[in-house]
Structure 1
């Protein structure tokens, strides 16, 4: 995804800024659907980040769980909009907590 995401953390004065990349085992249709629904997908990612606690982003396990939650948020949005998700993995290209 081209732009980073910035969100406040739940019940914290801190925020997280992440760069996100996704992969799919399917064809380019999934990536096209992702681009077509960019605004809805970005909103879903920001909502998931806003539900994340400071403790979760400080551990490797918490970050792995966040990757799974973000993949689910993206897939749920794509299923709602296009009838099919297709995102297999979410990867962090940058990760800053401040």
Structure 2
């Protein structure tokens, strides 16, 4: 598995954390399950990858693109707060 990003359910990298990992890069769409569906409040994309996060399953809906080595500590007050359901990541 290749770790590409870390997601948290609360702002400032707090709450429940989860690693977004994939077996093959580039990858097809990854649908979130359980605790992480529509509950993400902060995100970090690890170096070497670019990720797109989507509001709907199947990498549909509005898209938030994050570059290699970036993070968003607080999605509160944005359209992305608690609305991300899927992601797709590729090598940067």
Higher helix share: 1
Question: Which structure exhibits the higher relative contact order, with contacts defined as CA atoms closer than 8 Å and separated by 6 or more residues?
Answer: 1
Band of TM-score, shorter chain: under 0.3
Higher strand share: 2
**Larger gyration radius, structure 1 or structure 2:** 1
The TM-score normalised by the length of structure 2 is 0.27
